[in-house]
Structure formats: structure tokens, C-alpha cells
């Protein structure tokens, strides 16, 4: 009931308003929760998530950054922050988004969403080899061995031979195309 002003009740009401597409009442309650518990990273996260899902990515970045800072860099919050940064469409946000994704992947290497967002960021930054490798990682984690192999071949072509990223493309190729047939087909189809 509205008369219950406990933190838990207000949090639940904010989520209910948000799920009912009532942005203003949800944000009003969330702001009150933040005022009451300014060191609580999850209230900042909720504000950022609500803003992002209502198409206000640029407005979502500050509360999500604060949430990351307050949480000690919690991977899922960093992932949400990187997503918001990408969604702003601001090229200046790409490097910070990449840094957040690298942070996520350093703690959760198997996070397929982080690899997908990393592929987007690397592509927008013009790092096609890194983009292909990130897409290969995403495809491998998603169980699409054929796509993983294809993107690993693309990464191998674009990355400097012998680097850690090039070697990782080799690992993915070995895992997805042990007989080398996908690589042979890609070489046959490559423009001369």
C-alpha cells in the first residue's frame, strides 16, 4: 500500500511504475530512495536502467557510472553502463564503453553479452580485427560454431600475426574448425 514508506515498499513501487511504463512516478520514488541511501549502488543502477530502457541513454550514464563506482565495479552494472554509453551514439563514449567491457570480461570471460557489445564498440572504433575476434567469442559462447569459425578467420586476417589476439583467433579456429575446412573455404572465397 502507498502508506508503506519502507525502503523495500518504495523500491517495489518504483519497479511497478517502471514496468507499467510510468517513468515520472518511478523516477520520483527512485530519487527519494537515493536521497535516503546515497551510498546504495542498486538505487543508482535502477535509475540508470529505467532511463536507458525509456530511450534516455545519455541521462542513464551518470547514475550508472555512480553505481559502478559505489559497487566496486560490479560486472553486470559495468555491462549496463557500457550498453548505455553505446546507445548514446556519442563517439566520445566508445573508449569508456570499451574500458568497461574489458573490465567486465576480465572478471566474467564467459559473458556473451559483453562480447557482443565489445564487437559493436570495436567496429565503431574502426578496430575490425578486434571486432571480428569479439564476434567470434560471442558466437562461440552462443553455440554457433559456424559463425565463430567465420569470424575467427576474419580476425586472423586482420590482426597482427603472433599477437595475443591473433593467437586467440587460432584457438577459436582450432575449437570450431579442427580440420581447417572453413578456413580453406574462406580463402577460396576471398577477393584476390
Q: Is 43 domain-assigned?
A: yes
Q: Please name which of 96, 106, 94 lies closest in space to residue 131, comparing C-alpha atoms.
A: 94
Examine the domain organization and report whether 134 and 102 are in the same domain: no
Q: Is 116 domain-assigned?
A: no
Q: Please name which of 56, 64, 62, 122 lies closest in space to residue 94, comparing C-alpha atoms.
A: 122
Question: Mean pLDDT across the stretch 25-45?
Answer: 98
Examine the domain organization and report whether 28 and 83 are in the same domain: yes
What does the alpha-carbon distance between residue 147 and residue 71 come to, in Å, rounded to a whole number? 35
Examine the domain organization and report whether 24 and 69 are in the same domain: yes
Examine the domain organization and report whether 104 and 41 are in the same domain: yes
Domain boundary among 108, 142, 157: 108
Q: Is 177 domain-assigned?
A: yes
User: How many domains, the chain?
Assistant: 2
- Residue 119: pLDDT over 80: yes
Examine the domain organization and report whether 40 and 94 are in the same domain: yes
Examine the domain organization and report whether 135 and 97 are in the same domain: no
**What residues make up the domain containing 147?**
127-192
Q: Is 31 domain-assigned?
A: yes
pTM above 0.95, yes or no: no
Instruction: Using a pLDDT cut of 70, give the percent of the chain over it.
Output: 95
Domain boundary among 75, 108, 141: 108
Q: Is 21 domain-assigned?
A: yes
Question: Mean pLDDT across the stretch 168-191?
Answer: 79
Q: Where are the alpha helices (DSSP H) in the chain?
A: 7-19, 23-36, 41-53, 57-71, 75-87, 94-107, 112-124, 128-141, 145-158, 164-176, 181-189
- Residue 78: pLDDT over 90: yes
Question: What pLDDT, in 10s, does the model give residues 133-150?
Answer: 999 999 999 999 999 999
Examine the domain organization and report whether 92 and 140 are in the same domain: no
Q: Is 117 domain-assigned?
A: no
What does the alpha-carbon distance between residue 58 and residue 106 come to, in Å, rounded to a whole number? 26
Confidence category of residue 178, pLDDT binned at 50, 70, 90: confident
Mean pLDDT over the full length of the chain: 95
pLDDT value of residue 186: 66
Q: Looking at residue 78, which CATH number applies to its domain?
A: 1.25.40.10
Q: What is residue 126's three-state secondary structure?
A: coil
Q: Is 118 domain-assigned?
A: no
Domain boundary among 54, 80, 108: 108
Amino acid at each position: 500500500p502507498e502508506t508503506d514508506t519502507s525502503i523495500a515498499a518504495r523500491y517495489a513501487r518504483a519497479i511497478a511504475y517502471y514496468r507499467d511504463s510510468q517513468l515520472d512516478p518511478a523516477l520520483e520514488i527512485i530519487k527519494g530512495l537515493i536521497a535516503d541511501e546515497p551510498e546504495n549502488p542498486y538505487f543508482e543502477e535502477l535509475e540508470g536502467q529505467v532511463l536507458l530502457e525509456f530511450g534516455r541513454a545519455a541521462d542513464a550514464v551518470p547514475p550508472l557510472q555512480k553505481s559502478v563506482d559505489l559497487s566496486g565495479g560490479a560486472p553486470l552494472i559495468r555491462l549496463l553502463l557500457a550498453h548505455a554509453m553505446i546507445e548514446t551514439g556519442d563517439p566520445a563514449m566508445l573508449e569508456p564503453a570499451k574500458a568497461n567491457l574489458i573490465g567486465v570480461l576480465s572478471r566474467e570471460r564467459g559473458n556473451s553479452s559483453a562480447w557482443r557489445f565489445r564487437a559493436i564498440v570495436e567496429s565503431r572504433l574502426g578496430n575490425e580485427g578486434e571486432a571480428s575476434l569479439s564476434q567470434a567469442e560471442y558466437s562461440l559462447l552462443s553455440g554457433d560454431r559456424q559463425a565463430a569459425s567465420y569470424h575467427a578467420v576474419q580476425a586472423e586476417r586482420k590482426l597482427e600475426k603472433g599477437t595475443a589476439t591473433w593467437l586467440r583467433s587460432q584457438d577459436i579456429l582450432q575449437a570450431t574448425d579442427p580440420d581447417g575446412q572453413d578456413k580453406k573455404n574462406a580463402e577460396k572465397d576471398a577477393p584476390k
